Structure 1
Amino acid sequence: MPWQQYVANVSLEVADCGTRFRYSSVLVSVPRQAGKTTLLRPVMTHRCQMVPDASTWLTAQKRMDARDLWMTTVRHVERSPLGAVTTTRRANGSEGLFFPGGAELRLFAPTEDALHSKTTDLVAVDEMWSFGADVGRMLLQAIDPTQATRQWAQIWYVSTAGNGRSTWMRPMVERCRAELADKQQGETAFFEWGIPEDTEDLTDLAVYAAHHPAVGHTISPDVLRRSQGRMDASEFARAYGNYWVSSASFFLAPAVWERGRAWAPLAGPVAFGVEQTPDGSGASVVAAGTLPDGRRAVELVEQRTGVGWLVPRLLELVQRHRPAAVVVDPYGPARSAHKALSEQHRVPVPLADPFTAADLIQAHDEFITSLVEGTVAHRSHARLDAALLCATSRQVREQQVISRVSTTEGEHPAALIAAMLALYGQAHPPEAGARPQVGSSTA
């Protein structure tokens, strides 16, 4: 495809009178189904034919993933004219594709002792987004010394856009973007295809088709349409738009947050979400309701220092607004407030109970997806903006969820977490009468 040919042409430019490649590293960021692994195969086999005794290695998030890509390359080589002059060793743990002249294509697991005592001419890292910064640094420490004496050495990184776990890839992407913006000539050849970060409608398939480099070549708009129907909005934007919905730099793409800003008042029925800081220095109450245009929205109701005010204020809000739900994570920092609300019998509180880690993951996913789809808004408030800026994510049960860790400056995303819980309560109110009310009577 044209994009693949362009990447190969630029990445394999030579310098110093044809004695080395111009770029020591190559970073290719494209949507899924664009053909990035189809590009890697000829790049790796080219190196094995070009450089005598070339040592070419491949890795991915897991060794099995790297083996799958290696096996696909082997099958293509064996079906080509190269099949008559290459040999293959498939034994697990010692796999290798061997070329005339002593060149080899092998795979390795992304571990600390990887490539120990090896020299390499090309190392390919597939799906770079899946590596965190610690593993990324470990990989570079393993790879870099192996190329110190190799004339034609390169590292190729190929990946789709990542998420909050992509703490290795995102800073590299930002550095490459900055170099391009400043017209700097760095050592990395950087290529990126995807929908613009200021895309107004992240559900518009025409935008995806216009920016996906394989549409019209190997896939059709119908493929995008089918995939969109099977995936949530945020994951579809990342996979097929190469769009960073979240990253190491932000919990939610700033453009998505800005598109969700609203000023109109909320209407009922409402739900309340509650969160406090882990050190008890403050707490937030957020309401979820409906805007005049029919969209659901969240609004910061109260944010104060300390937590002594929280339960009395919640009881007052419940009496006044009769919410459909009040969501307080019983395993989070506000568990004492949850306990106090569940044990008092003066005011019937529609607590979302039980509320588990699985519910928190669901609340996180629904919050992000609804903002991406444009079906949820937030009433503009500086404290909500501040909470978003300091928010990060963590991994629970192999899924992303908002983190409760404060920044080094003491900022905490409590208001954003409360908004997420309020929205969950509005969408999943507890059954009426599920919580019995205890009273007393005299004969």
Structure 2
Amino acid sequence: MAKLGAPPMPWQKYVSDVALEIDPDTGLFAHREVGLSVSRQQGKTELTLGAQVHRALAWPRQNIVYAAQTRGMARQRWEDEFWEKISSSDLAKMARIRKSNGNEAILWGRTRSRMGITANTEKAGHGPPLDLGFIDEAFAHEDDRLEQAFSPAMLTRAMAQLWWASAGGTTKSVWLNKKRENGRRLVEALWEALAVDLSAPRPRACYFEWFAPDDMDRADPATWRATLPALGFTVTEEVIAAELEKMDPAEFDRAYLNRTRRPTPPTDPNVPKGKWPGLLDAASKPVASSVALAIDVSQDRNRSAISAASLRPDGRVHLEVVAYRPGTDWVVPAVARLHRLWKPVAVAVASGSPAASLIDDLVTAGIDVPKDKANPERGDLAVMRSGDVTEACGQLADAMNQGTVRHLDQVPLTAAVNGARTRRQGDAWTLDRTNSLVDISPLCAATWARWALVIRGPHVIEDYDIADSFA
């Protein structure tokens, strides 16, 4: 890379050091696959070129094939960027270019190696054995045709490697998303294995990724510093700030935070999600004497949520997801513990919902159904009927429109608000688990908790003014 005029930045050196590790027992590369997921404009092209030229010069008769979104895009980068950098470098006298269509190659006379390009088709890589296959801009590949074409051509080459690289894609980037998921799983499994035995066998693939999880603020420079490895070298915070100002947030996330861009959900006319960002109050806290809890379970029972609502001194209602975890077995013990700690106004559960199956267990845990429905006690269950659920949904929508609720912008709750769908219930409406774009159990639980606070609060909280929550 230094000879090509682009000395490696620390992150590029790190990737190269690991990707090109030699197994001392075999003398071969330790990794046959190298995966790289990094944001745009971080120096991926220079690293890509450096890896190819290194291969061409380090061993004789190497067959190197590069692929991008299309054959045309591959040729453009190969000719306008790769060859341009080679021909203007100290290595120019060692290489020559052949531009004839269908037979393009950069040829290295001393080693008789070649750097060619290919199309994104099932026939790519067919022909001579392949030593290095490079799949660039993997976000554009909707299937694994290139991998399936490259891999068999590498079987007889002991030092063969498949490299792939890309910034984040969209939900249509099936191959990239699968590779990223597999890479993360590989890294986690390796950490778990090394925690038990430092001599645990390493996988034959290595994976590198810089990205910002959804709970990291896109506007925080600390997020950029954690996810943009070229920041401070070839990119400045001022430039990233300017990009944030002019770009669509979802596209900024994909390009610079390496997040997968998801389709923008259509607006549900009943859920005023446009009001949600304006209701954020990062400093909002529950008031211990006026907390109502509620639980909900996803339709497939894969995840459960406990949410809380609390009446603040200013009359607004604080909404918060207390816990959101896989499964249902943890819910009753967690609610029982919170019940002891907080002495909540009530614990709400919707009858007829997936969470209704937990009602008997809650009663067994000491969270009772009111003995006198007209005079419930603090901490009793609030079992919601169909009409209560409809009422609660309308009340929360009104509260959002009127600005009388506040939240902490927790990812599960905000995602549920943005992805929620509704269905008709008589002349009213209710939240619809089946057609929502995401699991809405955090939102359902928050909605039930607010309802329980409003309905039960006047019975158990001294000086509770129900009008405050509608102010």
Q: 2:10, 2:261 → 1: CA distance? A: 27
Q: Which of 239, 243, 256 is the aligned partner of 2:255?
A: 239
In structure 2, relative to structure 1, the CA distance for the partners of 1:206 and 1:301 (3 Å cut) is closer
Q: Which of 148, 153, 156 is the aligned partner of 1:146?
A: 153
Partner of 1:156: 163
- CA drift at 1:128: 0.8
Indicate the SS of the match to 1:171.
Answer: helix
Partner of 1:75: 84
Deviations 1:84-111 (A, max 9, x none): 1211012333211000221000000111
- CA drift at 1:198: 2.6
Whether contact under 8 Å (2:21, 2:30) holds in the other structure is yes
In structure 2, relative to structure 1, the CA distance for the partners of 1:93 and 1:229 (3 Å cut) is farther
Partner of 1:290: 401
Q: 2:130, 2:419 → 1: CA distance? A: 56
Whether contact under 8 Å (1:24, 1:187) holds in the other structure is yes
Paired letter, 2:102: G
Q: 1:157, 1:141 → 2: CA distance? A: 13
Partner of 1:223: 239
Whether contact under 8 Å (1:60, 1:110) holds in the other structure is yes
In structure 2, relative to structure 1, the CA distance for the partners of 1:290 and 1:218 (3 Å cut) is same
Partner of 1:112: 122
Q: Which of 172, 181, 188 is the aligned partner of 2:188?
A: 181
The answer to whether the aligner puts 1:126 opposite 2:136 as a matched pair is yes
Q: 1:126, 1:148 → 2: CA distance? A: 21
Whether contact under 8 Å (1:19, 1:151) holds in the other structure is no
Whether contact under 8 Å (2:421, 2:436) holds in the other structure is no
- CA drift at 1:112: 1.6
Q: Which of 212, 221, 227 is the aligned partner of 1:195?
A: 212
Q: 1:160, 1:213 → 2: CA distance? A: 13
TM-score by structure 2 length? Answer: 0.55
Indicate the SS of the match to 2:437.
Answer: helix
- CA drift at 1:17: 3.9
Q: 2:131, 2:180 → 1: CA distance? A: 23
Partner of 1:171: 178
Indicate the SS of the match to 1:105.
Answer: strand
Partner of 1:7: 15
- CA drift at 1:78: 1.0
TM-score by structure 1 length? Answer: 0.58
**Which residues in structure 2 correspond to 1:71-110 (within 5 Å)?**
71=79, 72-100=81-109, 101-110=111-120
Q: 1:171, 1:189 → 2: CA distance? A: 15
Q: 2:92, 2:419 → 1: CA distance? A: 64
Paired letter, 2:63: S
Q: 1:43, 1:388 → 2: CA distance? A: 42
Q: 2:141, 2:153 → 1: CA distance? A: 20
Deviations 1:253-312 (A, max 9, x none): xxx9x99999789xxxxxxxxxxxxxxxxxx999797350699977979526xxxx8xxx
Higher alpha-carbon Rg: 2
Paired letter, 1:141: Q
- CA drift at 1:63: 1.3
Whether contact under 8 Å (1:77, 1:83) holds in the other structure is yes
- CA drift at 1:44: 0.2
Q: 1:44, 1:126 → 2: CA distance? A: 12
Whether contact under 8 Å (2:136, 2:166) holds in the other structure is yes
Paired letter, 1:388: L
Q: 2:219, 2:122 → 1: CA distance? A: 41
Q: 1:3, 1:300 → 2: CA distance? A: 40
Instruction: Tell me the C-alpha RMSD between the 2 structures.
Output: 3.6
In structure 2, relative to structure 1, the CA distance for the partners of 1:79 and 1:300 (3 Å cut) is closer
Q: 1:108, 1:214 → 2: CA distance? A: 29
Whether contact under 8 Å (2:34, 2:206) holds in the other structure is yes
Mark the runs of 5 or more structure 1 residues left unpaired by the alignment: 266-283, 319-380, 392-443
Q: 1:60, 1:14 → 2: CA distance? A: 28
**Which residues in structure 2 correspond to 1:41-440 (within 5 Å)?**
41-71=49-79, 72-100=81-109, 101-132=111-142, 135-136=143-144, 138-183=145-190, 185-199=202-216, 201-246=217-262, 290-292=401-403, 303=423, 383-384=432-433, 387-389=436-438
Q: 1:385, 1:32 → 2: CA distance? A: 37
In structure 2, relative to structure 1, the CA distance for the partners of 1:302 and 1:79 (3 Å cut) is closer
Paired letter, 1:91: S
- CA drift at 1:245: 4.3
Q: 1:300, 1:80 → 2: CA distance? A: 56
Whether contact under 8 Å (1:203, 1:233) holds in the other structure is no
Mark the runs of 5 or more structure 2 residues left unpaired by the alignment: 1-8, 194-201, 267-272, 281-306, 310-315, 318-389, 407-413, 441-471
Indicate the SS of the match to 1:388.
Answer: coil
Indicate the SS of the match to 1:182.
Answer: helix
Indicate the SS of the match to 1:158.
Answer: strand
Whether contact under 8 Å (2:34, 2:162) holds in the other structure is yes
Whether contact under 8 Å (1:61, 1:126) holds in the other structure is yes
Whether contact under 8 Å (2:122, 2:146) holds in the other structure is yes
Partner of 2:44: 36
Paired letter, 2:158: Q
Paired letter, 2:115: L
- CA drift at 1:168: 0.9
Indicate the SS of the match to 1:27.
Answer: strand
Whether contact under 8 Å (1:53, 1:103) holds in the other structure is yes
In structure 2, relative to structure 1, the CA distance for the partners of 1:67 and 1:390 (3 Å cut) is farther
In structure 2, relative to structure 1, the CA distance for the partners of 1:300 and 1:179 (3 Å cut) is closer
- CA drift at 1:113: 1.4
Paired letter, 1:52: P
Moved more, 202-211 or 100-109: 202-211
Whether contact under 8 Å (2:63, 2:113) holds in the other structure is yes
Q: 1:64, 1:219 → 2: CA distance? A: 28
Deviations 1:368-415 (A, max 9, x none): xxxxxxxxxxxxx87358722489xxxxxxxxxxxxxxxxxxxxxxxx
Whether contact under 8 Å (1:30, 1:161) holds in the other structure is yes
Partner of 2:443: none
- CA drift at 1:233: 0.6
Whether contact under 8 Å (2:419, 2:437) holds in the other structure is no
Whether contact under 8 Å (2:170, 2:262) holds in the other structure is yes
